[in-house]
Structure 1
């Protein structure tokens, strides 16, 4: 039996999507090189890890399965469900009466919490480490890709060097430098008018303060705080030792009214935006680390959106992840429906990677790459864009100024559409149908 020559794959970008693609293609036996200029906390569903050896269960015990959800109003009032006894005696923290949760029996796959930095580190180890199938991917730092020749599979780095391969995957994020070359159009990401402040705090510190203790009372607790057009989301990571906090505000809240054109410091702006919070929640903001330059300090994260691309593929090159379809986290507006968010940016990027791994098994010849990328786009583009639109609808302001918010039933449909998908199976079915059609064509000849 003749040995199949592996494809040489060049990946621009080493975020979640780029590293997931490196794992998927390495496991198929291909030679993978990842190039990036720099190396980001996330909630992710695992719909496409189900058949992948790099599944959360095998990667690390740091993935936390949510155990319970609680919703709070901005004045820290918890109203138990009619069937639920009050569990925090004399506590000012109460659950929203409209809170919903999708029963696990309705899900094909689980939803996990994990710190983005931890997930990124594990993906990097799985892509470049000695263990696992295939040859370890080569990781080259400090060299961003500035141009892609789609017909020859050649990339040009910022220092002028060029490298060629059988396939180029561009996964260099929302500000991709090669998006226009591949798609043929200019698409500039634009502000969604909102910003997210993110920070980490040791869970023990949150527990030690009586005002914030109910927010981390149980392992796996997801907390959702609503008020007007603002929102705070809290969930555990790092094996329940770290509390991840996200506060969503309008971009207008970031500017200093006394200094035109100047932005407030991240923590200052966040506290000012939530000045109407009760004492307990204000304490959560006050104990946030100050330094935005540190790994755990408060960092502003402008929320960006982008118009759809006419194509993700061109010759031997393909876009993946945020380079193809940047996602909003869908964590602002329409707070009365459910504690769950779509938050599918990382998950959809992983699905993209899994699809490429399925569609490009060892034995795929270089001449077949453009046709297989057509299948990749067929498998992924419509789904990713549909989830993007669900995310936009989910994030509409509850007053209807951005369009009607989704009904409870519509939103539950959004969640099920995201969670119930198995890209490994989907891409496998598409590839098998394609190969069967090819064989039928040969038989006719």
Structure 2
């Protein structure tokens, strides 16, 4: 009996992780990515233990670790004077949560996944292949693929929409009716700065989070401390054409004005960046359903979320593990996809809403901001860290039923 065939729309982090988890579950997998190459792009990201445990399960973590960094802490600072409000210790992260907490460049993660996929005979990646449509029936799924002016078709046993925020699969399922992603009123300005150009206090092996008026700043070292990843998130309107929607150039003068009242070292860090790119941040209410018949959503297509818990990539990786587990246990595709949804929807929806709430807390002003800072200081780093146990704990994800699903009978 031939292996069942999974079709995946999207070759980003979520799509590649889903391909690896499904291959381990006994599936033949075809990934369709509209870009002409699986490019190693993006900026820095924080990979919490709930994600790194899964990467370790299929061999990608070993490829990522040499270019990643283990932070000692998360330091929360006050924008106007740089005072430390609280320090959350991360040195015992692996012992506490079962897997390491890592700082990595998205390009390095993408490269690790591409290399891991290349070693899997069951996975075929088609680039320059955009999903143009699909039809799901009782016996399988048919998809239309557009390669330039040429349209072709492919068939499989299921279709996984890992095609991002503006997911065609989600739109065609009509699953986002009334809860389509919307611009949040915030943009993320991202840059990489050579460590030699950064003030010494900004090169610590930790994640620094500065909280200011309707803006916040995150920075941490990458690639062995050679560069510092900088993310400035501000409340502003956003306009961009479709060609550079996700990564438009940013004017440094705008940031200089927005952060003029911040501590000098923070301003010096921003000034050291020579090339700013900015992304609009989108938010959405949780979807009531991710699946329909033999079709399911994954990652941003299923649960677009704001970055204030640093969980966008991590939740897509969790989706992939749960999907592989469900389809590995049960070859009834529709029943297995329903089980996948049942395993993931409540948790991912909680992360979406908690991320939204966190963003509001970060951007408080006046007396509310003062009360926030006093509360964070009073709680202290250890108690603040315990509030993330529900999110970071990798032990449930390390269960054999999730990560070692194997082929179903």
Q: Shared topology, TM-score over 0.5?
A: yes
Which among 177, 181, 201 is matched to residue 214 of structure 1?
Answer: 201
- Quick check: 1:122 aligned with 2:112? yes
- TM-score, normalization by structure 2: 0.81
In structure 2, distance between residues paired with 1:160 and 1:414:
50
CA distance in 2, matches of 1:231, 1:253: 17
User: 2:330 and 2:249 mapped to 1: Cα distance?
Assistant: 54
Choose from 295, 299, 302 the match for 1:317.
Answer: 295
Equivalent in 187, 191, 205 of residue 199 of structure 1: 191
> CA, structure 1 residues 299+57, in 2 after alignment: closer, same or farther (shift >3 Å)?
same
1:213-272 Cα shifts (integer Å, max 9, x gaps)? 2210x4x222222322221111111122121000011114999xxxxxxx9943232222
Could you list the runs of 5+ residues in structure 2 that have no partner in the other structure?
A: 241-247
What does residue 299 of structure 1 align with? 277
1:173 and 1:106 map into 2 onto residues whose CA distance is: 32
CA contact (8 A) 1:358 1:427 kept: no
Structure whose alpha-carbon radius of gyration is higher: 1
Higher helix share: 2
Q: Measured at CA, do residues 390 and 190 of structure 1 come closer, stay the same or move farther in structure 2, by a change above 3 Å?
A: same
CA contact (8 A) 1:193 1:251 kept: yes
CA spacing shift, 1:75–1:349, aligned 2, 3 Å:
same
- When residues 7 and 48 of structure 1 are mapped into structure 2, their CA distance, relative to the original with a 3 A threshold, is farther
Distance 2:249 2:11 in 1: 31
**TM-score scaled to structure 1, two decimals?**
0.75
Distance 1:141 1:264, change over 3 A: closer
> Where do residues 146-165 of structure 1 align in structure 2 (5 Å cutoff)?
146-151=132-137, 152-158=140-146, 159-165=150-156
Name the SS for the 2:164 alignment partner.
coil
CA distance in 2, matches of 1:123, 1:419: 21
Gaps of 5+ in 1: 79-95, 207-211, 256-262, 290-296, 331-341, 440-445
Corresponding position of 1:21 = 18
Shift of residue 18, structure 1, vs aligned partner: 0.4
Segment of structure 1 superposing worse, 8-17 or 265-274: 265-274
Taking structure 1 as reference, are residues 145 and 266 closer, same or farther at Cα in structure 2, changes over 3 Å only?
Answer: farther
Of Structure 1 and Structure 2, the greater strand share is in: 2
The alignment covers a number of residue pairs equal to 374
Query: Hey, what does 1:56 align to over in structure 2?
Result: 61
Q: 2:116, 2:29 → 1: CA distance?
A: 13
Q: Which residue of 2 aligns with 1:428?
A: 401
